[in-house]
Amino acid sequence: MARIRLDDPCYYFNRHESWMAFNRRVLEEAQDEGNPLLERVKFLAITASNLDEFVEVRIAALLQQVEHGNQVAGPDGLSPAEQLQRLAREIHSFVNNQYQCWNEKLLPALAREGIRILLVASLDRASKDAMDLFFIRRVDPILTPVTIDPSHPFPHVINKALCVAFQLRRQSKLGTTYLGVVTVPQKIARLVRVPSKRDDINYIFLHDLIETHTRNLYKGYTVISSAAFRATRNSNLYLHEEESRNLLDLVDSELHNRRRGDVVRLEIEADATQAIVEPLCQQFRLQPWQVFKTPGPVNLSRLFFLADQTPRPDLKFQPFTSRTITFTPKASNIFEEMRQGDILLHHPYDSYEAVVSLIEASARDPQVLSIKQTLYRTNENSPIVRALIEAAQSKEVTVVVELKARFDEASNIRWARSLEEAGVQVFHGLVGLKTHCKLALLARQESDGEIRQYAHLGTGNYNASTAHFYSDLSLLTCEPQMTSAVHAVFNFLTARSEQ
């Protein structure tokens, strides 16, 4: 019998292509007519948000490897250049499928339900007057139109900020054309509801409203053409273990560099003229495959607003009430309940409140001597973080805050500093690894003097907000083999105590 060689590339999927296959499965949910219509819109927005992160982290990393001459093949036998070539084709195909879903399926279905996205030019007089007033009062005061010329360099375009480019001709200098750029304000919703006396729900895109008001922005110019665009930058954090600074300061400084990362993708409206596309490609130093001409609205993640804000509950998943844990007759608190046996919770169908209650009860219980916990992502005003801060006043509290939780780094830095100021012993994970486990370990002195350990193991995050809509599992246990394993993990995270 032939021996299997585990280093044979034929046994391995490419990790990036596997991720793209995952995102296609999310897109299938948007295409599935069995799902409520506005939930399908949300699934489409999720695919766009997912793809953003994929491009600004994974594609960006592959580009850097290629630029640095890295030719080392992965387990699948593909070099970085080969992976990039295959992924470029796959991403373009995926984007085409996204816009087919939007243009051919979702837009017509929304229109049949009386939900429309209109062009400003198609509005009736009353609606156009209302939108003009909205622009004058709410939008124009915070716009900064820029014309690119020798005294006005190209503005720094923030990562994933929606912008509008204009091809301009100065009326006093016939024959000379310029490029103008306006950043669409991030603080204003990308979709604006149009007032209507009927039951119809009509929206316009904010960038369309800005484009129709170029006469106010560029007086003295003739607008030849315009196009919305969006640049995605390299958002990887480059951390080196030999750095002498502590990890928190290192991540903090890298976050500032992220804002100025190289552009790795340009999304621009499909009908944009070459007079706009070419200067942008030169400015961002892009290869042709990095340009995505969209036959529809640039940045489909804007559709989250449409799904969330449209007042049509009949087109959304029906709400439900999570089941709360109830104690058995022999238990008067969560610790006694856990001693009766393990508790397995399936969120969001089982309420996450049991997990929050465990940490809060531990903070208040004088018999709990110590609390150890990992934090990967959590919510603003987190009840769990508040409980940990409260607990630090009377017991040993150790928290491992993973600073490398993608795009939650700044939030986690704030939490780490708040916890340290409260007296919590905070560790920042390990440079070469990402602490993705969700663990809590409590040491409690029982009435007989014995110290018993209690643990929570979860697949989600310690985030009571997202626990309402993500499917996850929680295990509450005081089984000695389980708690000793959790104890060993914490020893590794704080002391690199290897086993």
DSSP lists the bridge partners of residue 397 as 371
Round to whole Å and give the CA distance between 279 and 168: 13
Round to whole Å and give the CA distance between 190 and 205: 6
Which one of the listed residues 68, 346, 428, 436 is annotated catalytic?
A: 436
Give the tokens for residue 375.
Answer: 């934090």
Q: Are 400 and 418 in contact (CB under 8 A)?
A: no
Q: Are 192 and 206 in contact (CB under 8 A)?
A: yes
Which amino acid, one-letter code, is at 50? N
Give the tokens for residue 66.
Answer: 């290629």
Give me the helix-helix angle, 409-421 and 247-258, nearest 10°. 150
**Nearest of 120, 218, 142, 140 to residue 177 by alpha carbon:** 218
Q: Are 384 and 468 in contact (CB under 8 A)?
A: no
Round to whole Å and give the CA distance between 168 and 150: 15
DSSP lists the bridge partners of residue 455 as 441, 477
Residue 196, classed as helix, strand or coil, is coil
Residue with tokens 């593909």: 78
Give the tokens for residue 79.
Answer: 């070099």
**Nearest of 106, 64, 86 to residue 19 by alpha carbon:** 86
Q: Are 323 and 66 in contact (CB under 8 A)?
A: no
**Nearest of 383, 392, 384 to residue 420 by alpha carbon:** 392
Cβ count within 10 A of residue 265: 24
Round to whole Å and give the CA distance between 101 and 253: 40
Active site residue 16: no
| Residue 391 phi, psi dihedral angles, 5° rounding | -65, -30
CA 340 to each of CA 328, 330, 333, 450, 478: distance values in angstroms, whole numbers, following the listed order: 9, 8, 11, 17, 9
Round to whole Å and give the CA distance between 231 and 47: 17
Q: Which residues are catalytic?
A: 436
